Amino acid sequence: MSHVLRQAIQLHQHGRLGDAERIYRDVLKAQPRDFDALHMFGILKLQQGQASEAVRLFDDALRVDPRSSAAHCNRGVAFAALGRHDAALACFDQALAVDPSHAGAHASRADSLYDLKRLDEALVSYDLAVRFDPNLVSALVNRGVLLSDQGRPDAALASYDAAIAVEENDAEAWNNRGVVLQELGRIDEALISHERALALRTDYVDAALNLANAQLIVRRFADAMAGYAKVLAQDPRCADAHYNLGNALFDLERFEEALASYARAVAIRSNFFDARIGRARALAKLHRYDEASVEYETLRKLSPGLPNLLTDLIHCKVTTCHWTEMASLTGELFARVNAGNLSVDPFLFQGFDATPDQQFDCARNWVRLKNVKGTERTWNPTQFPSDRIRIAYLSADYQRHATTQLIAELFEIHDRDRFEIIGVSFGPDDKSQVRSRVIKSFDRFFDVTTQSDDSVANLLRGVPVHIAVDLKGYTTNARMGIFSRRAAPIQVSYLGYPGTSGVDFMDYIVADQVVLPFDQQPFYSERIVQLPDSYQVNDSKRRIGVVPKRGVAGLPDRGFVFCCFNNSWKLNAPMFDVWMRILHRVEGSLLWLLRANAQVVRNLRAEAQARGIDPSRLVFAPQLDVEDHLARLTLADLFLDTLPYNAHTTASDALWSGVPVLTCQGGTFAGRVAASLLRSVGLPELVTSCLEDYEAMAIRLATDPALLGSFRRRLQDNRATHPLFAADRFCRHIEAAYLRMWDIWKDGGGPQSFRVDPIVST
């Protein structure tokens, strides 16, 4: 090799490609068959992105030396760059025929096989590359990518670790390692890996995006959004960054901004289904249900098998009482549950006439979809203080919310000699009076909104908490992942979700003999604990504001007022049929409903007219603060309950305001709550067993003032004498349940179903 050619190669190696090219050309002009010049010039052209020219130069080099495995291999790399993988494979095979131990040829052959989706063959070639050169970092990294694609994250992680052991400053290995660690749920380690990748290559867009995604998982929203901004500053057309920024904004309930981010992602990548789903979800949160429905219907046509589209579409339809297509959609929903499909939201499914075993199947399917798996923990009873049992109540609803409206007083009146009460909040701070009240009621209060599930579970184990109570289940902003990590030795489902979680790490569900008889145990993964009265706690301190005139409340001066202030998704066509027949039979009566959204008003009035009822007989009430709402409720004559999902807090509101509630007892927890409340307040006659009896009783009460008056008087008397609103009595009962749970666990037993004995007054 001449001195001039060595100079060219040196310039080439230092990245001075233009200078090197001039010398290569000069050498080849003088010596057209100089193998080294042809070969190196081919490599240079490959580096410049001129793969076709590189192939020509490698061809010339191989005519000079057909036994050069390196030239055959590089010719294959050039063909691969042109997307001609079959030709590339032939080149790699020729290189290996010359030198079977050529690690680079094995690695490049594996790369082409990977691009051809021949993953098993590619893995064999990567393994051979690493066998012949254990320090070949690129092969180790690409092998990790393949293993990850095959669903083998642990093996992929080992491959990345091996690459880093060879070259600790390989940014790609660190970044890919972080992706796999995210997949394995080891988010804290993933964060470290992505941060290391970015430290090595500050302009590494993929690492910045992956770091932001990991920060989003652990709810470090500010960091994640700053990360997405950094990515978009470098690549404004990064659709994934726009999409995940939308997810961060969505989680922060900044729905207008989330909608804009999703729209930008879709504008860049029109077939970006996840972003289109995000856009539809944001539209629904903004009460633009009609637009959301159109988007869901379009996506269902494009990709019928995409998970969650059916339930998201149904949510929009039921929330707006758009029942036109509900028969076919409901049939599809049940078919999915019965077939073991994983994509049906168990909370939405409770709004349909399902059996307990179908609800159980739905919950277990959902758990598999979400990949929620319980973590076993070894506990030592001696590590827990013996003077007081620590109860942690976990919720996203410490704000103006029905659950907090019911449970606020319980936190205040727990026996502090026997219990320490801890609040754990992972929902927004609405600065409301009720939030301030509950915060003050706890002995300790943790706002963990921006903390990961791991961090929260570690926090509670560090306290340590004896019993963790979930007030969410599968409702909005639930954090079942905290419980899957075993935050406490005893974990309890209560109040927020009237059904089974379907998981093995929730030990108990607190209920009563009406909502959850022991014969329902086969359909619950939790052990059933029955309180002696109603399972539903109530706040006896709720104030009722000044009662308005009927006209101020939007009601006519005369006429019998049926009311139902349940959420619109609890209404359905069969129930509405009954109500319209009741209005038809009770002359001058009207139905007072909650104005959930403009679409509800439009659709229900159309449904009334289709059933021969003047739409003006439906009166819609706006949202009010609790005190004012309870005050206007007193203007109603009779509360009509819904089925299959009863009134829960809304039924208690009516009874507290002195309005009788008429219900039909259903077959599942959610459909038996009003029956539990009525029995607990001493009005069991208002519990019917079928819709025919319900309809007849409603008409009788509306046309017999004396009968209705007797129920109103009994309700007024019973509020002070019966258990439903006796908060202190309820507190003693649920405390007895907690003590029994702890005694069972402390004695080495597993969760057991049991009934709490009623307190005997002295």
8 A C-beta contact, residue 571 and residue 596 = no
Task: List the CATH code of the domain at 561-725.
Answer: 3.40.50.2000
Query: How many percent of the chain have pLDDT more than 70?
Result: 100
What gap in Å lies between CA 760 and CA 682, rounded to an integer?
18
pLDDT tens-digit map of 97-135 = 999 999 999 999 999 999 999 999 999 999 999 999 999
Residue 78 tokens, joined:
């050039």
- What is the amino acid identity at position 189? E
Q: What contacts 565, CB < 8 A, 6 or more positions away? A: 592, 593, 594, 621, 629, 633, 639, 647, 650, 653, 654
- DSSP 8-state symbol, 381: G
What gap in Å lies between CA 240 and CA 271, rounded to an integer?
12
Mean of the per-residue pLDDT values of the chain: 96
Any idea which fold 388-531 has? Rossmann fold (3.40.50)
Give the strand order in the sheet containing 419-425. Answer: 444-447, 419-425, 389-395, 467-470, 490-493, 508-512, 527-531, 754-755
Residue 49 tokens, joined:
């992105």
43-51 long-range CB contacts below 8 Å, 24 or more apart? 43/12, 43/74, 44/12, 44/17, 44/20, 46/74, 46/77, 46/78, 46/81, 47/17, 48/17, 49/81, 51/78, 51/79, 51/81, 51/82
What gap in Å lies between CA 200 and CA 643, rounded to an integer?
60
Provide the pLDDT for residue 762.
Answer: 45
Do 561-725 and 3-212 fall under one CATH topology?
no
Residue 388 tokens, joined:
């007081």
Terminal Cα-to-Cα distance of the chain (whole angstroms): 109
The parts of the chain modelled with pLDDT lower than 70 are 1, 761-762
Q: Residue 80's Cα: distance from chain center in Å?
A: 41
At the fourth CATH level, which superfamily is domain 3-212?
Answer: Tetratricopeptide repeat domain (1.25.40.10)
The closest of 660, 650, 609 to 629, measured between CA atoms, is 650
Helix/strand number for the chain, H first, E second? 34, 14
Q: Helices in 14-133 by DSSP H: which ranges?
A: 17-30, 35-47, 51-64, 69-81, 85-98, 103-115, 119-132
Residue 147 tokens, joined:
């293993």
Q: What is the DSSP string of 241-284?
A: HHHHHHHHHHHTT-HHHHHHHHHHHHHH-TT-HHHHHHHHHHHH
Provide the pLDDT for residue 1.
Answer: 65
| 3-class secondary-structure state, position 692 | helix
Provide the pLDDT for residue 101.
Answer: 95
Q: In degrees, to the nearest 5, what angle opens at C-alpha 561 toward C-alphas 556 and 566?
A: 115
| 3-class secondary-structure state, position 397 | coil
pTM beyond 0.85: the answer is: yes
Chain position carrying tokens 């409720």: 633
pLDDT tens-digit map of 286-337 = 999 999 999 999 999 998 878 789 999 999 999 999 999 999 999 999 999 9
What gap in Å lies between CA 578 and CA 134, rounded to an integer?
76
Provide the pLDDT for residue 385.
Answer: 85
Residue 704 tokens, joined:
């017999």
Provide the pLDDT for residue 680.
Answer: 98
Q: Which residues pair with 248 in a beta bridge?
A: none
pLDDT tens-digit map of 160-212 = 999 999 999 999 999 999 999 999 989 989 999 999 999 999 999 999 999 99
How do the domains of the chain map onto residue ranges?
3-212, 388-531, 561-725
Sign, CA dihedral 223-224-225-230, equals: positive
Residue 641 tokens, joined:
């309950």
